[in-house]
Amino acid sequence: MHPAPDSTSFLLQAANVSKSFPLGTHAVEVLNDVTLSVRRGELLAMVGASGAGKSTLLHILGTLDRPTRGTVLYDDHDVFRLSERELAAFRNRRIGFVFQFHHLLPEFTALENTYLPSLIDKRPLRECRDAARALLSEVGLEHRLHHKPGELSGGEQQRVAVARALIQRPDLVLADEPTGNLDARSGETLFALLRYFNEQRGTAFVIVTHNAHLSARADRVIHMMDGRIVD
């Protein structure tokens, strides 16, 4: 468990975040006045029934979507004051993503999929390859560097997705049901990897999961219901 935070230990602070979507003449509120802080180096699990707003909140925390109301601060800076171009660059450098379905590009190898975010950031190709090779070795795929996603098992594909999420050494990784499409053993392996990088690199993780066994091993668990945090 991490120690209680001081006033400077928060990486992310979301305040009074709401999100609504138009539906005909009405608006459907998916998030309602959510306030949440994430500490540096914390592994936080988010649980709740389907439709509780977990994925929508994760997308807003990851700046993939903008809130209807409320603020999201990274290091006390309001990220939604950035232009779309600035926000995309911020997201690529500071935030990693792992989804239930790996979203790997099928025509690229494991190595190429892993270093793509660094290439987008215009880092030298040799540096990108070396970092990706080292990461894939850390996740146990040093023998699968040149295999394409279709040649990998589901667990291996998801490990490539984890390596891709970490290639830019982000402060925060957001994972939406990362074990949801895996068998129990592969899910355990993947969660152990997330905890390993959390401890070794100090990377913060917010993990949406339905797996009570895994969520119980997080530093903190928050529960969502009907677009609100209820604990």
Nearest to 195 by CA among 222, 225, 175: 175
Residue 2 has pLDDT above 70, yes or no: no
Q: Are 207 and 47 in contact (CB under 8 A)?
A: no
Instruction: Determine the length of the chain.
Output: 231
* Domains by residue range for the chain, with CATH: 10-229 (3.40.50.300)
Nearest to 203 by CA among 124, 149, 152, 138: 138
Predicted structure pTM score? 0.86
Question: What distances in angstroms separate CA 168 from CA 89, 94, 114, one per listed residue?
Answer: 11, 7, 10
Residue 3 has pLDDT above 60, yes or no: no
pLDDT tier for residue 209 given thresholds of 50, 70 and 90: confident
Residue 7 has pLDDT above 70, yes or no: no
129 Cα distance to chain centroid: 22
Nearest to 94 by CA among 15, 165, 14: 165
Residue 77 has pLDDT above 80, yes or no: yes
Which alpha helices (H) appear in 146-183, and where do they start and end?
154-166
Nearest to 66 by CA among 20, 28, 23, 10: 20
Residue 43 has pLDDT above 90, yes or no: yes
pLDDT digits over 143-193, tens only? 999 999 999 988 899 899 999 999 999 999 999 888 877 788 888 888 888
pLDDT tier for residue 227 given thresholds of 50, 70 and 90: confident
Q: Which H helix or E strand runs over 39? A: strand 26-39
β-strand 77-78 against 95-99: which pairing, if any? unpaired
Residue 210 has pLDDT above 50, yes or no: yes
pLDDT at 126: 92
Average pLDDT over the chain reads 88
β-strand 10-23 against 26-39: which pairing, if any? antiparallel
The CA-to-CA distance between both ends of the chain, in Å, stands at: 19
Q: Which H helix or E strand runs over 224? A: strand 220-225
Residue 103 — φ and ψ, nearest 5°?
55, 35
pLDDT digits over 140-149, tens only? 999 999 999 9
Compute the average pLDDT of residues 40-61.
Answer: 88
Nearest to 43 by CA among 201, 225, 169, 229: 201
